[in-house]
Structure 1
């Protein structure tokens, strides 16, 4: 043993009890490389071998020192009163304790590591999961309120939403036919790069789509493209992600976002390109509704070079029957929605 390397041979007298009911028996105690050897003093016959690292003192600080080789079942004991032997055994015990694992510390360390890992996971995962959950369970009215808040913020950049009654009446009549039941369409004076889908199945487009075209086809196609490009749940999730976790918690508990939670989101939204659907699904939907793709494509690229597929695959160029989206009177009222 390293702790006893200064001793070439260490022996002392001791009193050994093999079992709790056995009488004490004189023995010679000697220290080996890793064992404590108890021998008969008359015959030198070994009576017992104790593993040094497993020895436990039962009466710290008292003399004679009382040791056992098995703390779980301390039936076998040894009494030693020789100071040098006691010191040698105690050195071994101290050296053993310093190397022995500390289960309590290990468990505590593992608990701390696990807690830190969980906390880190919560910081990374929980906010996103909470926002996804809130977007998934939000009732339509709540989602529409968020959409109206986003629209109000957009209006800070584009000017107030156009509200001429005759034009809005046309939009209210058109919404179920173009963007679906329970949807709503609003127009703002400035361009918004096509049409945008907002939470609550709310759509907004710029007046430029109405004022610079001969008919409603381009505006209708933009609204359909906005519907196909992103789901209503995703629009709500994006808005709530901008609002932040605390705002989402308030929405889930009190039913409303804090005032100003979406301030600046409208401008952020307009600074990004409008989401675009794949050509295939868009062309299929336009063909089903009898709406031409070329007027829409020309608003994206007047030269037609980057939207050649939409123009060449326009269902109205390939035998499709154009639908009558609005009457002339309705179209005129819609074009004037921002007037006055």
Structure 2
């Protein structure tokens, strides 16, 4: 760093004192390459100061008193007749000061970045983290309770679930055959409301009565039930509900263990109106193979021509195999009368 060109090799008279106990001395001060050289009247060098390390102890006052930064005991005074030297020192100090890092600004930017990170975390990370945590800690019994509350609201629109005494056991057997023995009570047949199928937190699967009454064989109904279960496995039903109802719903469920009526009402309406998630053929085929179900009856029910579901027909995992019946003929006939009409 160099002194300003117009002030290079500038000299002025001053008064210098090495320590508070020393006698003040008249000196000659020479401004060089961003440095001050202090000489006695015989031109012997008494001290050498870097202007970058010079501080002024009486800003705006005269005589101007300077000292090395951190050592106010050594002083150098300039009177009014040394105005050009004072101006030169001040301008050089200002130029040097502008090149120094500003701790205040640095703190401002650091604080700003930290604040932005915190706000970004709240906006982008917190909702997702809260959602995942809530889904993980809500117990199965609470999920069933939420599913029951949703079903109660859905049946206000669809009508009460269909059930006859003769159809009760066949419906349980269908659920057991497709979903497993632990899910015997998972199926609910509705007279309306849901277009085909839907699933609820807690494991229940809703079916429109047409999926029981219209097919000629139970394999079709079983295909719709299994496909809806595969949808439930692709995304946790409780997670899906909390995404739809929002952050406060997750927070309330986590802290109080309850869902408010407005959220339950809104989600039940959403369930009845939404378009079912489309599953890949690979997922469907793998699920049917595990459940030992034929994909062909389901594929022709979805598209009677078989054109759009040809991969399910051609890759039927049960082709050429002995397949356990979904239901006996007697159970199927009883089940088809579940709505009693």
TM-score grouping bracket, smaller chain normalisation:
0.7 to 0.9
Query: Partner residue of 1:210?
Result: 212
Contact 1:191 1:205 in 2 (8 A): no
C-alpha deviation, 1:176, in angstroms: 3.9
TM-score by length of 1: 0.83
Query: Partner residue of 2:48?
Result: 49
String of CA shifts for 1:144-171, please: whole Å, max 9, x gaps.
Answer: 23334444555566x1242424334543
Query: Partner residue of 1:252?
Result: 254
Q: Following the alignment from structure 1 to structure 2, what is the Cα–Cα distance between the partners of residues 193 and 323?
A: 29
Contact 2:17 2:25 in 1 (8 A): yes
Greater shift, 135-144 or 161-170, is seen at 161-170
Greater shift, 323-332 or 195-204, is seen at 323-332
Gap change, CA 1:86 and 1:278, over 3 Å in 2: closer
Q: Choose from 74, 80, 83 the match for 2:78.
A: 80
C-alpha deviation, 1:211, in angstroms: 0.7
Query: Partner residue of 1:312?
Result: 314
Gap change, CA 1:209 and 1:22, over 3 Å in 2: same
Q: Following the alignment from structure 2 to structure 1, what is the Cα–Cα distance between the partners of residues 322 and 202?
A: 32
Gap change, CA 1:274 and 1:47, over 3 Å in 2: same
Q: Following the alignment from structure 2 to structure 1, what is the Cα–Cα distance between the partners of residues 140 and 234?
A: 10
Residue 66 (structure 1) aligned with residue 68 (structure 2): no
String of CA shifts for 1:222-266, please: whole Å, max 9, x gaps.
Answer: 222222234275222111011110111000011111211143434
Q: Following the alignment from structure 1 to structure 2, what is the Cα–Cα distance between the partners of residues 178 and 137?
A: 28
Where does the alignment leave 5 or more consecutive residues of structure 1 unmatched? none
Greater shift, 1-10 or 106-115, is seen at 1-10
SS in 2 for 1:200: coil
Query: Partner residue of 2:327?
Result: 326
C-alpha deviation, 1:23, in angstroms: 4.5
Q: Following the alignment from structure 1 to structure 2, what is the Cα–Cα distance between the partners of residues 290 and 94?
A: 85
Q: Following the alignment from structure 2 to structure 1, what is the Cα–Cα distance between the partners of residues 222 and 276?
A: 15
Q: Following the alignment from structure 1 to structure 2, what is the Cα–Cα distance between the partners of residues 108 and 168?
A: 70
String of CA shifts for 1:180-203, please: whole Å, max 9, x gaps.
Answer: 425622122237454333222221
Q: Following the alignment from structure 1 to structure 2, what is the Cα–Cα distance between the partners of residues 91 and 290?
A: 89
Greater shift, 297-306 or 285-294, is seen at 285-294
String of CA shifts for 1:91-144, please: whole Å, max 9, x gaps.
Answer: 444454455432023212220232023202321221122112211222112222
Query: Partner residue of 2:30?
Result: 30
Contact 2:164 2:340 in 1 (8 A): no
Gap change, CA 1:75 and 1:163, over 3 Å in 2: farther
Note the 1:152-301 alignment, pairs <5 A: 152=152, 154-155=154-155, 159-166=158-165, 167-180=167-180, 181-182=182-183, 184-190=186-192, 192=194, 194-231=196-233, 234-280=236-282, 282-287=284-289, 289-301=291-303
Q: Following the alignment from structure 1 to structure 2, what is the Cα–Cα distance between the partners of residues 288 and 87?
A: 90
Aligned CA-pair RMSD: 3.3
Contact 2:171 2:335 in 1 (8 A): yes
Contact 2:161 2:188 in 1 (8 A): yes
TM-score by length of 2: 0.82
C-alpha deviation, 1:270, in angstroms: 4.8
Contact 1:286 1:292 in 2 (8 A): yes
Query: Partner residue of 1:338?
Result: 339
Q: Following the alignment from structure 2 to structure 1, what is the Cα–Cα distance between the partners of residues 186 and 329?
A: 22
C-alpha deviation, 1:291, in angstroms: 2.9
